[in-house]
Copies of this chain bind each other. A is one copy, B any other.
């Protein structure tokens, strides 16, 4: 649960530019809270939920509320800077997505560990199914569930 304070400054600046642009185009206010949340997210690695992010900001003495966290997460999803996931539990998890290539997830049902992988065949499936079923497909989630054979410390989360 420790977040590693590794901020890729360059990536963050680009993300910030995208966010700024998004807010300007939509007549949204560029508040310090919104930028602070973006920055915290871009410091984090892996996956997080709204509560974890909120607590993390609180312990860093930011003055933010849950409402603002939820509100901002929604904006960031809307401009594709973060991605929303449901890994089988009723908690929405997020991960930053700008500058990272599209990938899918493999989740250990024992310890909750999440691995990532890419497979180009999914793109083919999306294209084919979109055409067959007359859908304009915008995104997808492929989650594989199983048990990791090696380093599984069971029932972690």
Residues of A within 8 A of B (CB): 84, 86-88, 90-92, 106, 108-109, 115, 117, 119, 121-122, 124-126, 128-130, 132-150
Contacts and interface: CB of A to CB of B under 8 A. Distances in A.
Contact of A119 (B87, B108, B129): B129
A128 B129 CA distance: 22
6 contacts: A106-B129, A106-B137, A125-B142, A134-B150, A136-B149, A142-B143
Contacts of A132: 117
Given A86-B86, A124-B121, A144 B135 contact: yes
A126 B138 CA distance: 23
A121 B117 contact: no
